Amino acid sequence: MATAEQTVHVSEFTNEPFIDFTKPENRSRMGEALKNVKSEFGREYPMWLNGQKVTTTDKRTSTNPSRPSEVIGVFQNATKEMARQAVEDAHRYFDTWKRVSAQERAKCLFRTAKMVRERKFELNALVCYEVGKTWVEADADIAETIDFLEFYGREMLRLGEPQKLTPMRGERNYLVYIPLGVGVVIPPWNFPCAIMAGMTVASLVTGNTVILKPAADSPTIAARFIDILYEAGIPKEAVNFITGPGSVIGDVLVQHPKTRYIGFTGSKEVGLRISELAGKTVPGQMWIKRTVLEMGGKDGIVVDEEADIDAAVEGTVQAAFGYQGQKCSACSRAIVSEKIYDTFVQKLVERTKKITVGPSEDPDNYMGPVISQSAMKTILDYIEVGRKEGKLLIGGKRAVGDGYFIEPTIIVDVDPKSRLAQEEVFGPVLAVIKAQNYDRALEIANNTEFGLTGAVYSKNPEKIKKAEETFHVGNLYLNRKCTGAMVGAHPFGGFNMSGTDSKAGGRDYLLLFMQGKSIAEKVS
């Protein structure tokens, strides 16, 4: 049991408020932060292995997708041996870190949240530059980071206490949750701070040691966050920071016999490979490795004939083109009743024409760049597929500028089984599909291998109820967009090929990083 001195008293969790950028003082502070962050472009960042700074002769860079010639940070390329040693070192330190009380670990998260809050504008600016998020999208990323820190800290205070069981006469019986061991955390670039931080601190607060391998396109924000964690009191040995190509070090980290679990968010292909590799036991392995996988989506918004069409258009545009469609929750299919199809499409195109595209640090732009040249090529290739499978109404090509800019693109009259309706594009491309009736619309919504998010617009309560029962997604939204999950309010994770339904930001999430130990003592 926690002693009186250890008890941590915290307020009830509330979500971090977003910055109001219409206020001149906030616009000024953000402008200043952008200048300050830009002045540090080209800085070199070390790895942190076993509490020590490590550099290599082989380097890699992170660049600004709005201006690819700008180098944001210089990073190290780790060797396979460094990756192997990182697991060994983390395994050795696990015995020390797991003995730190849950209360002390939670306090580290609360201190980290305070520091992130104080540096919010600086971190927002870095996210703008490194991954092409606009001011509002970057701010949402950092706010979610704070939410994860505050929420998981509170959850650990709850789960860190002995859990009550059904009493047995003549026994003292209870259950405790204990950590698993070494966790390998492999986050994506699209929520470069929030998801990276969420998986890392969920692992740490539950008493595990971590090897964090950030996404190749967003290592700078991860390096800055790791510095804040250390400053907040997380021992350097508890979280190792390793950079380098996944093709070199990824498999080594996943397959090491002392790796206990892997937390991954990213593509279906990489997630399935991790699942396969983790499922094979290797000499010296003493456990079944656990995987926490959040993968892709082919998310649909169903627009019923009894919907508020204007609200549905606005929600669809925001979900399809917010952050250039580069969210696993983004709407990539609008499935529309044939009775309102033409009206919806007309309004959708008119609304999309108002979208501005350009460098993400300019607050007048609603859309910034896609993440990389290879991503841009893939998206443009999908648009060419879409031209053959449907009718291109707006967009369809690269937008003006040096960055990786693509116009918001709408392709209509798409067949539900076509490639554009089935494959994850991960860019600002929306397929519009006509449905004969509401039941058929729900069938189409469920006809992909994914099951992450979905939305339904309808004023009919019976139809809403039917969607609740039959729309097979981990996160279902009714009369609102299918993006924008909030920690605590919308636990996030999907079905089928969208992953293991991990429900990040929910009350079950930390249990994925622990195991239950039941204890019973006979008493006289």
Give the count of alpha carbons within 13 A of 171, CB side only: 12
496 contacts 449 by C-beta, under 8 angstroms: yes
User: Which structure tokens are listed for 516?
Assistant: 């239950």
Ramachandran angles phi, psi of 169, nearest 5°: -60, 135
Catalytic residue from among 108, 328, 331, 482: 328
Beta bridge partners of 394: 410
Indicate the DSSP class of residue 190. Answer: S
Break the chain down into helix, strand, coil percent, rounded to 5. Answer: 40, 20, 40
| Active-site residue, selected from the candidate residues 144, 237, 294, 389 | 294
Distance between CA 242 and CA 334 in Å, rounded? 40
Element (H, E) at 80: helix 80-97
294 belongs to the catalytic site: yes
Burial zone of 56 (CB within 10 Å; 0-12 exposed, 13-18 middle, 19+ buried): middle
Query: Is 328 assigned a catalytic role?
Result: yes
Of 125, 115, 144, nearest to 72 by C-alpha is 125
Of 175, 178, 229, 281, give the one whose Cα is nearest residue 520: 175
Q: One-letter amino acid identity for 168?
A: M
3-class secondary structure for 91-146?
HHHHHHHCCCCHHHHHHHHHHHHHHHHHCHHHHHHHHHHHHCCCHHHHHHHHHHHH
Give per-residue burial for 482-500: e unless 16+ CB within 10 Å, then b. Answer: bbbbebbebbbbbebbbbb
The set of catalytic residues is: 294, 328
